[in-house]
Homo-oligomer: A and B are copies of this chain.
């Protein structure tokens, strides 16, 4: 198990991934006919806010989590499982101190979104993505390049642990 986790991390580093993490009990070898999201859903940057997140560890990463209309409606109606057509986008940036803000505030306390690292998607289609819990996972680096197959196989094992909320970690911020 430990060796599998090490392989995942090594692959992530080689893949030059900015914001990625491993699960505590990652199953690197899930071999079902998984299908991943190959194209960036158009217009995602204009979608509405679900919430924000901040990952420390090795990541020093900020996330703005946005949702299309189906996603936002489902969240607001507290509807689980998410219906087909839901798309959730996690926009990742480096979590960096703001020198400028700190000067004004008079002390080091302010962190802002630095350079973008990647955008990740979850698209709900219970038929197409049956092998991965009804969700298609997508990852695109800052140049729009999709994550490779070995990397993409690591999404589902972590998300599958979030059973209570249909594999989605992010909760709605009012």
Q: How far is the CA of A63 from the CA of B112 in the complex (A)?
A: 10
Task: Tell me whether A64 and B49 are in contact (CB under 8 A).
Answer: yes
A: interface residue count bin: 35 or more
- Tell me, yes or no, whether A101 is within 8 Å of chain B by CB: yes
Task: Tell me whether B162 and A104 are in contact (CB under 8 A).
Answer: yes
**Chain B residues within 8 Å of A169, by CB:** 98, 100-101, 104
Least distance between A78 CB and chain B CB atoms (Å): 16
Task: Tell me whether B49 and A173 are in contact (CB under 8 A).
Answer: no
Least distance between A89 CB and chain B CB atoms (Å): 10
Task: Tell me whether B104 and A23 are in contact (CB under 8 A).
Answer: yes
**Chain B residues within 8 Å of A25, by CB:** 106
Q: How far is the CA of A49 from the CA of B169 in the complex (A)?
A: 20
- Tell me, yes or no, whether A80 is within 8 Å of chain B by CB: no
Interface centre among A25, A46, A63, A105 (most CB of B within 10 A): A105
Q: How far is the CA of A148 from the CA of B156 in the complex (A)?
A: 49
Q: How far is the CA of A113 from the CA of B49 in the complex (A)?
A: 12
Q: Which residues of A contact B (CB under 8 A)?
A: 21-25, 45-49, 51-57, 59, 62-64, 66, 91, 93, 95, 98, 100-101, 103-107, 109-113, 116, 158, 161-162, 169-171, 173-174
